[in-house]
A and B are shown apart, each in its own frame.
Chain A
Amino acid sequence: MDLKYTAEELIFRDQVRRFLAEKLPRDISEKVAGGHAIRAEDYTRWQKILHEHGWGAPSWPKQFGGAAWGPVQLHIYDEEAAAAGAPRTIPFGLKMVAPVIMAFGSPAQQQRFLPRILSGDDWWCQGYSEPGAGSDLASLKTRAERRTDDEMGDHYLVNGQKTWNTLGQYADWIFCLVRTDPHAPKQQQGISFLLIDMKSPGITVRPIITLDGAHEVNEIWFENVKVPVANRVGEENKGWTYAKFLLGHERANIAGVGASKRELKRLKNIARSEIKNGRPLLADPLFAARVAQVEIDLMALEITNLRALAAEAQRHAPGPEASVLKIKGTEIQQTLSELMMYAVGPYALPFQRESSDEGDLRSLVGPEYAAPLAATYCNYRKVTIYGGSNEIQRNIISQMILGL
């Protein structure tokens, strides 16, 4: 038993470091390091740089233009990229729909969609949740009925509403779970997986402004939207299988250890600059103990993550232990955002919201690092809710691991 990387892995890490030092645009890494909003064009610019280098899709197999890295290499990349201040990967295209298209899509779908995901030319978003279907996703109601007409040929007529759609305002495409058989004996059985062009007539994107004042999520309405049958992935009414497959892939890097390490560093820098009772806040015994607690929890999570990774590298895809990583990872993210906000004290109160559309809003009052903290704290309430709420994760642990 040891925690060391192999010589090959260390060489790979050096390559990643060199690449990041040379190619990661400074204006983007500064935003990430300062906790500022990242614009859609920043994400796309970075994706194109990665793609040029052949690293556009680290986890994809070579045949689809991926780098085909193993779990340990992916982990090393995630760690280094997070430390260097690279923006997170927007998962919807690269990590969510692409694996589904590779596993279940037709060759035509693979040729049409995968290269443009890889190159950053298409922005994808997710159409899963509905007002009445959150944790109970299989109860979704958005209807897709088979039709034929001269203009479209064989197609589905889609009607319904999706919600909590992340960054769909920039999206070229949406992958959707729709109900194709409302009479199926089990609700999981009547669902299909459709790829829908966001420019299709009948689609309306309505912003949902969240508690931090940001426009990150949307409602999407479908009114008689025509979707060619050729845009269905796999078989009709088998969509739930693909959806579960996709949720399994959502779990890669679910612990977010690299990003949390970077945020811990930011927290410490803030707490070194802030003064309490005439000395740095980081030297205050109460605050120092809180910081130490989250640092120690993060150390434990890092090893837990490596254990899961080693198991994955040895034999199989991530299992239910990913739920442990999700729960602990998101709790740590929330604690870090909370401590950062409390670190700046009263200067957390002036609400200096940034919008990813408006660009950087530098602080009007107080230290510059204080500006985004309260908004981020508010925004980060989401992390224990999305991707399967932490309560659902506890259900998974008790059912799949404890056998209850």
Chain B
Amino acid sequence: MDFNFTEEQQLLADTVRRFLREHYTFEARRGILKSPQGWSREVWNELAGLGLTALNVPEGYGGLNAGPVDTMLVMNALGEALVVEPYLAAAVLTPALLTHLNDDEAASELLPSIASGERIVIVAHQEPKTRGELDHVTTRAQTTADGYVLDGYKNVVMHAGAADELLVTARTGGKTDEAEGISLFRVDPAAAGVTIKAYRTLDGQSAADIEFANLRLPATSRIGAEGKAFAAIEAAHGIALSALCAEAVGIMKAVNATTLEYTRSRKQFGQPIARFQVLQHRMADMFLHSEQAVSMSYLAAIKCTEPEAAERQRALSAAKVVIGQAGRFIAQQSIQLHGGMGMTDELMVSHYFKRLTAIDLSLGDVDFHTQRFIALTHPG
């Protein structure tokens, strides 16, 4: 039993944190959010320069193969600074998917440029009428003489607008909710037959709905075995879920600190409002929630690579439930304790609030994961 981080891990966390403190201030972030694309390639290149885009790429493909605990520490720091660049999507989910796909050719082609930060590859998997389940795929890839024709619709694909390339899931067989029959395709977002409707999400990040209409793809665009992509999709989403939990924990700690600071400086009735016991106990509860969230983020990091699927998923669902609930409580109370100031766009706290809210709604919310937990705990 060991909850220590190695010296290298400490150093990594410190480096990321220092970089963000210096270069990713509230004002700098605000500038990025106001830009048309809503994220900064410059910042992305700097993150790549720190080695962060290589973290989840295996060594054989130019990466650092660092693992979920390192990723957790990085995500803590990115959460604290509310980084809007597509780290989770492009530097965690995508490399995890490519690593689990058992397609050496695709991995050799894509992973080195992902590791170096040159290429941003985004997974387009989620569809309407899903809220966390991963096997619901209606997008179809029909076999033709020289390849495939893709038709379907993907929704709220985070950072699709930033993609140099998309990895799209589509059915080459099986029924709508079957794990079997899902394949993965490399798609050029600029190709005819791809319509990207980009927008911002409530937390200021970029996302898009994507329509594929009669999109013609060569046979070589399929990566991994036909109809067998689900295991890799599931494994990669587990790793991404762990990273998302860690991002939430970074935010929770930061928003708790911000709230504490604010109540110490804000005076009413002739004294700092932090003197009032009703607020002290609220902040004690916020601390309790964040401690439980830290614990479950650790569990998620440890279990997200567990080979036994039911054990892995059960732990990840439990983690997402705790993090979703803790995030909601902390987010709501942080605004409440900031009073009117919490309602403004001017302070970090409202931005923390929105990101924590978005995190609960991403990769399955509290209800979804509670149900999955129940199904895995009491099968049959």
* Docked pose: A90 CA to B285 CA in angstroms: 30
Say which residue of A5, A296, A303 sits within 8 Å of B298 (CB atoms): A303
Any chain A CB within 8 A of the CB of B301? yes
Q: Are A296 and B287 also in contact (CB < 8 A) when A2-B1, A398-B280 are?
A: no
**Residue of B whose beta carbon sits closest to that of A300:** B292
Which among A9, A311, A324, A398 has the greatest number of chain B C-beta atoms within 10 A?
A: A398
**Residue of A whose beta carbon sits closest to that of B260:** A402
A-chain residues with CB within 8 Å of residue B321 when the two chains form the complex: 292-293, 296
Report the minimum CB–CB distance from A199 to chain B (whole Å).
44
Interface of chain B: mostly helix, strand, loop or mixed: helix
Binds A, one of B2-10, B53-61, B134-142, B217-225: B2-10
Which among B1, B5, B378 has the greatest number of chain A C-beta atoms within 10 A?
A: B1
* Docked pose: A391 CA to B299 CA in angstroms: 29
Q: Are A300 and B296 also in contact (CB < 8 A) when A1-B5, A2-B1, A397-B288 are?
A: yes
Any chain B CB within 8 A of the CB of A307? yes
* Docked pose: A125 CA to B245 CA in angstroms: 46
A-chain residues with CB within 8 Å of residue B370 when the two chains form the complex: 289, 292-293, 296
A-chain residues with CB within 8 Å of residue B288 when the two chains form the complex: 324, 327-328, 397
Any chain A CB within 8 A of the CB of B97? no
B interface, size bucket? 35 or more
Q: Report 17 cross-chain contacts, Cβ distance below 8 Å, ordered by A residue.
A: A1-B4, A2-B1, A3-B1, A288-B378, A292-B373, A292-B374, A300-B318, A300-B322, A301-B292, A303-B295, A321-B291, A324-B288, A327-B288, A328-B288, A398-B280, A402-B287, A404-B260
**Residue of A whose beta carbon sits closest to that of B320:** A296
Any chain A CB within 8 A of the CB of B281? yes
Q: Are A1 and B295 also in contact (CB < 8 A) when A72-B1, A292-B370 are?
A: no
Report the minimum CB–CB distance from A261 to chain B (whole Å).
13
A-chain residues with CB within 8 Å of residue B318 when the two chains form the complex: 295-296, 299-300
Any chain A CB within 8 A of the CB of B231? no
Say which residue of A303, A324, A402 sits within 8 Å of B283 (CB atoms): A402
Interface of chain A: mostly helix, strand, loop or mixed: helix
A-chain residues with CB within 8 Å of residue B4 when the two chains form the complex: 1
Report the minimum CB–CB distance from A313 to chain B (whole Å).
8
A284-327 vs B, Cβ < 8 Å mask (1 yes, 0 no)? 00001100110111011101101101110000000001001001
B1-41 vs A, Cβ < 8 Å mask (1 yes, 0 no)? 11111000000000000000000000000000000000000
Q: Interface size (A, Cβ < 8 Å)? A: 40
Q: Are A296 and B378 also in contact (CB < 8 A) when A3-B302, A307-B295, A310-B2 are?
A: no
Report the minimum CB–CB distance from B296 to chain A (whole Å).
5
**Residue of B whose beta carbon sits closest to that of A283:** B378
Are the C-beta atoms of A2 and B302 separated by less than 8 Å?
A: yes
Any chain B CB within 8 A of the CB of A4? yes
Are the C-beta atoms of A394 and B285 separated by less than 8 Å?
A: yes
Say which residue of B277, B287, B294, B377 sits within 8 Å of A295 (CB atoms): B377
Any chain B CB within 8 A of the CB of A395? yes
B-chain residues with CB within 8 Å of residue A209 when the two chains form the complex: none
Any chain B CB within 8 A of the CB of A401? yes
Report the minimum CB–CB distance from A402 to chain B (whole Å).
6
Report the minimum CB–CB distance from A328 to chain B (whole Å).
7
A-chain residues with CB within 8 Å of residue B371 when the two chains form the complex: 289
Any chain A CB within 8 A of the CB of B66? no
Any chain A CB within 8 A of the CB of B274? yes
**Residue of A whose beta carbon sits closest to that of B272:** A404
**Residue of B whose beta carbon sits closest to that of A288:** B374
A388-403 vs B, Cβ < 8 Å mask (1 yes, 0 no)? 0001011101100110
* Docked pose: A315 CA to B283 CA in angstroms: 27
Any chain B CB within 8 A of the CB of A282? yes
For the complex of A and B, list the 5 residue pairs with the smallest distance between their C-beta atoms, beginning with the closest. Answer: A303-B295, A398-B280, A394-B284, A397-B284, A300-B292
* Docked pose: A9 CA to B2 CA in angstroms: 13
* Docked pose: A324 CA to B286 CA in angstroms: 11
Other A-B contacts than A303-B298, A304-B295, A393-B284, 18 sampled, CB-CB below 8 A, are A1-B302, A3-B1, A3-B299, A288-B378, A289-B371, A292-B377, A297-B322, A300-B293, A303-B296, A307-B3, A307-B294, A310-B3, A324-B291, A391-B281, A398-B284, A402-B283, A402-B284, A402-B287
Are the C-beta atoms of A289 and B374 separated by less than 8 Å?
A: yes
Report the minimum CB–CB distance from B163 to chain A (whole Å).
33
Any chain A CB within 8 A of the CB of B69? yes
Q: Are A304 and B292 also in contact (CB < 8 A) when A4-B1, A398-B281 are?
A: yes
Q: Are A300 and B295 also in contact (CB < 8 A) when A2-B302, A5-B1, A310-B1 are?
A: yes
**Residue of A whose beta carbon sits closest to that of B257:** A402
**Residue of A whose beta carbon sits closest to that of B369:** A296
Report the minimum CB–CB distance from A347 to chain B (whole Å).
23
* Docked pose: A4 CA to B3 CA in angstroms: 11
Report the minimum CB–CB distance from A32 to chain B (whole Å).
24
A219-246 vs B, Cβ < 8 Å mask (1 yes, 0 no)? 0000000000000000000000000000
**Residue of B whose beta carbon sits closest to that of A72:** B1
Which B residues between 281 and 320 are near A, CB-CB below 8 angstroms?
281, 283-285, 287-288, 291-296, 298-299, 301-302, 315, 318
* Docked pose: A309 CA to B295 CA in angstroms: 13
B-chain residues with CB within 8 Å of residue A397 when the two chains form the complex: 284, 287-288
* Docked pose: A282 CA to B377 CA in angstroms: 11
Are the C-beta atoms of B299 and A303 separated by less than 8 Å?
A: yes
B-chain residues with CB within 8 Å of residue A3 when the two chains form the complex: 1, 299, 302
Report the minimum CB–CB distance from B196 to chain A (whole Å).
38
Are the C-beta atoms of B301 and A1 separated by less than 8 Å?
A: yes
Are the C-beta atoms of B280 and A395 separated by less than 8 Å?
A: yes
B346-380 vs A, Cβ < 8 Å mask (1 yes, 0 no)? 00000000000000000000000011011001100
Which A residues between 67 and 84 are near B, CB-CB below 8 angstroms?
72
A-chain residues with CB within 8 Å of residue B315 when the two chains form the complex: 299
Which B residues between 75 and 134 are near A, CB-CB below 8 angstroms?
none
* Docked pose: A191 CA to B109 CA in angstroms: 76
Report the minimum CB–CB distance from A4 to chain B (whole Å).
7
Report the minimum CB–CB distance from B70 to chain A (whole Å).
10
